[in-house]
Structure 1
Amino acid sequence: MMGIDETLARVQADLSRLEPAAAAAAASEPMTFLVDIRPESQRRRNGELPGGIVVERNHLEWRLDPRSDGRIPEAIDQDIRWIITCQSGFSSSLAAHSLCQIGLVRSTDMIGGFDAWLAAGLPVLQPATPRRPRGPGEGPSDGAMPFSARSCPLSRIVIV
Structure 2
Amino acid sequence: MAGAVDAHLAAVRRTLDRLEPHQARAEAAAGAVLVDTRPEFQRAAGGTIPGALLIERNHLEWRCDPGSGASVPEATGPDVRWIVFCEEGYASSLAAASLRAIGLSRATDLVGGFRAWRAAGLPVTPPA
Distance 1:41 1:112 in 2: 19
Q: Which amino acid in 2 is paired with 1:23? A: A
Matched, 1:74 2:84: no
Q: Indicate the residue corresponding to 2:121 in structure 1.
A: 121
Identity among equivalent pairs (%)? 55
Per-residue deviation at 1:118? 1.0
12 and 110 in structure 1: CA distance in 2 versus 1, 3 angstrom threshold? same
Map 1:128-143 to 2 at 5 A: 128=128
What is the TM-score normalised by the length of structure 1?
0.77
Moved over 6 A (4+): none
- The answer to whether the Cα contact below 8 Å between 2:99 and 2:105 also exists between their aligned partners in 1 is yes
Report the CA distance between 1:57 and its aligned residue. Answer: 0.2
Letter in 2 for 1:98: S
- What does residue 17 of structure 2 align with? 16
1:9-158 matches, within 5 Å, as: 9-30=10-31, 32-126=32-126, 128=128
Decide whether aligned partners of structure 1 residues 86 and 103 sit closer, same or farther in structure 2, where only a CA change above 3 A counts.
Answer: same
What is aligned with 1:135?
none
Distance 1:18 1:76 in 2: 22
8 Å contact 2:65–2:75 — kept in the other structure? yes
Q: Which runs of 5+ in 1 are unaligned?
A: 129-160
Aligned-partner Cα distance in 2 for 1:110–1:76: 22
- CA RMSD for the aligned pairs? 1.1
Structure-2-length-normalised TM-score: 0.96
Any idea what the Cα deviations from partners look like across 1:24-73, whole Å, max 9, x if unmatched?
1100113x100000000000000010110000000000000001101011
- Cα deviation, 1:2-29, whole Å, max 9, x if unaligned, reads 7100000010111000001110110011
Larger radius of gyration: 1
Task: Say how many residue pairs are matched.
Answer: 126
